[in-house]
Amino acid sequence: MRVRHLNFGTYRPPSQKLINGHGSLFRAGHLVCHCLLLETDAGLVLVDTGFGTKDAADPLGRLGRAFMLRSRPVLRPEEAAVSQLAALGHDPRDVRHIVLTHLDRDHTGGLADFPEAQVHVYGPEFRAAMDPRTKLERARYRPTQWEHGPHWIVHELADGEKWFGFECVRQIAGLPPEILLVPLLGHTRGHIGVAVDTGTGLLLHAGDAYMFHGEMENPPYCSPGLRAFQKKFEVLPQRLTNVARLRELRRTTDVEVFSAHDLIEFEGWQKRNG
């Protein structure tokens, strides 16, 4: 299995100091949509899709005014997953599976660019997005991003196994056994991480379980802007417990943990992969 670390969407929110933890208060911050392309014998697999070409064509309709003002995504069509895969020589129809950490708009925007793919999601997340119970959930999910009718595959993880202390971890039917779903609830009701055994090491894409590289340090720290953002959008209190478990996983094992939006982590992977 070949794993590629790709950025399917850039944000420039205010301010660099508050978001990235350094630099100027008055310069724009810099965040990414750190996604994975897995080249497997079962075809191409994406872990999250970032923003898609339709988001770039209709940002207000697809993403909403409040999100555009708060996050200020750049929305370059060439950053969309379908464009980057084409540049790598892949046919979009070769994307057989998409595994989503959760259904926030900056993770699902590219779904419509791969209408033939099976889309894997954790059951509590699917239900929260399709029938939102709270004001926060009604605001965060954008049904317009899946109005094309994705081929949803909904997973219930109650019968999973233990994995490095995490409960209810399981394989995905139809995909290589080296890809695992790891419940990391908190940021959303059904948020998951995706673990990948590359053959040379173990990776864990932690999605939005945390958002700043310093949260994996000892002692942990977070930029004030992202700390406030995470508190505002957290729906279950076990998010902080899961962050502590991820920190311990990173400290005591060889599992390489990374999140979806941190620029420092993404640039580190880019350097390693050439």
pLDDT tens digit sequence for 142-195:
999 999 999 999 999 777 889 998 989 999 888 999 999 999 999 999 999 999
CA distance 204 to 182: 9
How many degrees, rounded to 5, is the angle at CA 72 between CA 227 and CA 236?
Answer: 35
Contact 121, 154 (CB under 8 A): yes
Instruction: Report the CATH number at residue 118.
Output: 3.60.15.10
How many degrees, rounded to 5, is the angle at CA 53 between CA 85 and CA 74?
Answer: 100
Between β-strands 95-99 and 118-122, what pairing exists: parallel, antiparallel or unpaired? parallel
* Per-residue pLDDT at 206: 98
> The domain containing residue 147 runs over which residues?
2-273
* Per-residue pLDDT at 205: 98
pLDDT tens digit sequence for 41-89:
889 999 999 999 999 999 999 999 999 999 999 999 999 999 999 999 9
Instruction: Work out how many domains the chain is built from and give that number.
Output: 1
Tell me what the pLDDT averaged over the chain comes to.
95
- AA letter at 71: S
Give me 152's structure tokens. Answer: 């949803």
Contact 273, 4 (CB under 8 A): yes
Contact 270, 219 (CB under 8 A): no
SS3 (DSSP) at 271: helix
How many degrees, rounded to 5, is the angle at CA 104 between CA 100 and CA 110?
Answer: 60
User: pLDDT class for 274, splitting at 50, 70, 90?
Assistant: low
* Per-residue pLDDT at 58: 96
- Residue 229, judged by CB atoms within 10 A of its CB (0-12, 13-18, 19+), counts as buried
16: nearest Cα among 5, 24, 7: 24
**Percent of the chain that is helix, strand, coil (3-state, to 5):** 35, 25, 40
**Can you tell me the mean pLDDT for 100-104?**
98
Contact 139, 238 (CB under 8 A): no
CA distances from 76 to 8, 15, 50, 83, 196 (A): 9, 21, 12, 10, 28
**Among the listed ranges 93-102, 119-128, 151-160, 199-208, which one has the minimum average pLDDT value?**
151-160
**Can you tell me the mean pLDDT for 11-23?**
95
* Per-residue pLDDT at 159: 75
Question: Residue 1: is its pLDDT beyond 90?
Answer: no
For the chain, the residue count is 274
* Per-residue pLDDT at 72: 96
